[in-house]
Chain A
Amino acid sequence: MVDFLWFVPAFPLLGAVIMLLFGRRIGDPRSGWLATLAPTASFLVVAAIFADLLSKPANEREHVVNLFSWIGVGSLRVKMAIVADPLSITMALFVTGIGALIHLYSIGYMHGDPKYSKFFLYLNLFIFSMLMLVLGENLLVTFLGWEGVGACSYLLISFWHTRNSAAVAGKKAFIANRVGDFGVMIAMFLAFSTIGTLSYSGINEAARGGTLAPVTATAIALLLFLGACGKSAQLPLYFWLPDAMEGPTPVSALIHAATMVTAGVFLMTRIAPVLAVSYHFAPMIIAVVGGVTALFAATIAVAQNDIKRVLAYSTVSQLGFMFMAVGSGAYVAAIFLMVTHAFFKALLFLGSGSVIHGVNHEQDMRRMGNLRLLMPITSLTFLVGWLAIAGVPPFAGFWSKDEVLLHVFANNRALYVVGLAAALLTAYYMTRQVIMVFFGRARWQDHSGEHGAHGDFVPHESPRIMLVPLVLLAGLSVLGGALQLPFTAHTEFLDRWLAPVIEESQISIAGTWAFDNKYLLMFLATVVALVGIAAAIAVYVKRVVRPLEPRVLEQAWYYDTAVSQAIAGPGARAFNAIAWVDLHIVDGAVNGVATLVRRSAGVTRKAQSGFVRTYAAVIGLGAVLLVAWFAWRSIS
Chain B
Amino acid sequence: MWYLLLSAFLFAIGTFGVLVRRNPLVMFMCIELMLNAVNLTFVTLGRQLGSISGQTIVFFVLVVAAAEVVVGLSIIVAIMRRRAGVNADDLAELKG
Contact B19 A617 (CB under 8 A): yes
Across-interface contacts of A613 in B (CB, < 8 A)? 18-20, 22, 27, 88-89
Indicate if A630 sits at the interface (CB-CB under 8 A).
Answer: no
How far, in Å, is A305 (CB) from chain B's closest CB?
73
Contact of A605 among B19, B88, B93, B96 (CB under 8 A): B96
B15 within 8 A of A: yes
Q: Given that A613-B18, A613-B19, A616-B18 are contacting pairs, would A607 and B96 also be in contact in the complex, using a CB cutoff of 8 Å?
A: yes
Cβ of B18 and Cβ of A609 under 8 Å apart? no
> B62-81: which residues lie under 8 A (CB-CB) from chain A?
none
Partner of B92 from the list A605, A610, A617 (CB cut-off 8 Å) is A610
Residues of A within 8 A of B20 (CB): 613
Among A607, A609, A612, A616, chain B packs the most CB atoms within 10 A around the CB of A612
Contact flags A603-622 to B (C-beta < 8 A → 1, else 0): 00111111111001100100
Interface status of B95 (Cβ within 8 A of chain A): yes
On chain A, the residues within 8 Å of B18 by CB distance are 613, 616
| CB-based nearest A residue for B18 | A616
Per-position 1/0 for B11-40, Cβ under 8 A of A: 000010011101000010000000000000
> Are A609's CB and B91's CB within 8 A?
no
- Whole-angstrom distance from the CB of B56 to the nearest CB of chain A? 24
Q: In the complex the two chains form, is B19's CB within 8 Å of A609's CB?
A: no
B96 close to A612 (CB less than 8 A): no
Please indicate the chain B residues that have their CB under 8 angstroms from the CB of A612 in the complex: 27, 88-89, 91
CB neighbours (8 Å) of B89 from chain A are 611-613
Tell me the smallest distance from the CB of A257 to a CB of chain B, in Å: 65
Measured CB to CB, the closest approach of chain B to A603, in angstroms, equals 10
Choose among B15, B22, B96 the residue that contacts A608 (Cβ–Cβ < 8 A).
Answer: B96
In the assembled complex, B94 has its CB within 8 A of some CB on chain A: yes
Q: Which of A575-612 contact B (CB under 8 A)?
A: 605-612
Within the assembled complex, what's the spacing in Å between the Cα atoms of A608 and B15? 21
- List, in ascending order, chain A residues with CB within 8 A of B93's CB: 610
A611-B88 Cα distance, complex, nearest whole Å = 7
Check if A610 sits within 8 Å of B94, measured CB to CB.
yes
Q: Which residue of B lies closest to A616 (CB)?
A: B18
Contact of B19 among A607, A608, A616 (CB under 8 A): A616
Cα separation A102 to B54 with both chains bound (whole Å): 77
CA–CA, A605 to B95, complex, Å? Answer: 8
Q: How far is the CA of A608 from the CA of B96 in the complex (A)?
A: 5
> Roughly how many angstroms separate A252 CA and B88 CA in the complex, as a whole number?
72
1/0 contact string of A499-518 vs chain B (CB within 8 Å)? 00000000000000000000
The residues of B that contact A617 with a CB separation of less than 8 Å are 19
Closest 6 CB pairs of A and B: A610-B92, A610-B95, A608-B96, A605-B96, A612-B88, A616-B18
Q: List 28 A-B contacts (CB under 8 A).
A: A605-B96, A606-B96, A607-B96, A609-B92, A609-B95, A609-B96, A610-B91, A610-B92, A610-B93, A610-B94, A610-B95, A610-B96, A611-B88, A611-B89, A611-B92, A612-B27, A612-B88, A612-B89, A613-B18, A613-B19, A613-B20, A613-B22, A613-B27, A613-B89, A616-B18, A616-B19, A620-B15, A620-B19
Nearest residue in B to A604 (C-beta to C-beta)? B96
The docked-state distance in angstroms from the alpha carbon of A609 to that of B91 is: 11
Is B91 a contact of A608 with CB atoms below 8 Å? no
Neighbouring A residues of B19 by C-beta, 8 Å: 613, 616-617, 620
Contacts of A607 in B (CB 8 A): 96
With the chains together, A608 CA to B22 CA distance in Å?
A: 18
Return the chain A residue nearest B24 by Cβ.
Answer: A612
Q: Which single residue of chain A is at the shortest CB-CB distance from B22?
A: A613
Chain A nearest CB from B40 CB (Å) reads 18
Docked pose: A415 CA to B89 CA in angstroms: 89
Q: For B92, what are the chain A residues with a Cβ–Cβ distance below 8 Å?
A: 609-611
Inter-chain CA distance A605–B96, complex, in Å, is: 5
B15 nearest in chain A by CB position: A620
Given contacts A609-B92, A612-B27, A616-B19, 7 further A-B contacts (CB under 8 A): A606-B96, A608-B95, A609-B95, A610-B91, A610-B92, A611-B88, A613-B88
Nearest neighbor of A612 in chain B, beta-carbon distance:
B88
Per the bound structure, the CA–CA distance linking A610 and B93 in Å amounts to 7
Q: Return chain B residues, CB-CB under 8 Å to A608.
A: 94-96
Q: Which residues of B contact A606 (CB under 8 A)?
A: 96
**Chain A minimum-CB-distance residue to B20:** A613
User: What 0/1 readout, one digit per residue, does chain A (199-232) give for beta carbons within 8 Å of chain B?
Assistant: 0000000000000000000000000000000000
In the bound complex, what is the Cα–Cα distance between A617 and B27 (angstroms)? 13
Give the docked Cα–Cα distance between A616 and B27 (Å).
Answer: 10
Shortest distance from the beta carbon of A621 to any chain B beta carbon, whole Å: 10
Q: Which residue of B lies closest to A623 (CB)?
A: B15
- Across-interface contacts of A609 in B (CB, < 8 A): 92, 95-96
**In the complex, what distance in Å separates the CA atom of A607 from the CA atom of B96?**
7
With the chains together, A133 CA to B89 CA distance in Å?
Answer: 66
Which of B15, B92, B96 has the largest count of A CB atoms less than 10 A from its CB? B96
Residue interface bits A265-306, CB-to-B below 8 A is 1, else 0: 000000000000000000000000000000000000000000
- Which residue on chain B has the smallest CB distance to residue A620? B15
Q: Shortest CB–CB separation between residue B49 and chain A, in angstroms? A: 18
The smallest beta-carbon distance between A610 and chain B, in angstroms, is 3
> Chain A residues near B22 (CB, 8 Å)?
613
Bound together, the chains give a CA A302 to CA B37 distance in angstroms of: 96
Chain B nearest CB, measured from A41 CB (Å): 54
Closest to B21 in A: A613
Query: How distant is the Cα of A465 from the Cα of B56 in the complex, in angstroms?
Result: 79
Complex: chain A residue closest to B88, CB-CB: A612
Task: Say how far B83's CB is from chain A's closest CB, in angstroms.
Answer: 15
Contacts of A610 in B (CB 8 A): 91-96
CA distance A610 to B91 in the complex (A): 7
* Bound form: Cα–Cα A611–B15 in Å: 16
Most B C-beta atoms less than 10 A away, residue of A607, A616, A617:
A616
Q: What residues of chain A lie closer than 8 Å to B15, measured between beta carbons?
A: 620
- How many whole Å from B10's CB to the nearest CB in chain A? 15
- Compute how far the CA of A30 lies from the CA of B93 in the bound complex, rounded to whole angstroms: 62
Query: A598 → chain B, closest Cβ, in Å?
Result: 13
Q: With A and B bound together, what is the CA distance between A528 and B81 in angstroms?
A: 95
Closest to A624 in B: B15
The docked-state distance in angstroms from the alpha carbon of A611 to that of B22 is: 10
Q: How far is the CB of B84 from chain A (nearest CB, A)?
A: 18
- The distance from the CB of A594 to the nearest CB of chain B, in whole angstroms, is 19
Chain A residues lying within 8 Å of B88, measured Cβ to Cβ, are: 611-613
Closest to A602 in B: B96
Rounded to whole angstroms, the CA-CA distance of A59 and B62 in the bound complex is 68
Chain B minimum-CB-distance residue to A607: B96
What is the 8 Å Cβ interface bit string for chain A, positions 480-522, against chain B (1 contact, 0 not)?
Answer: 0000000000000000000000000000000000000000000
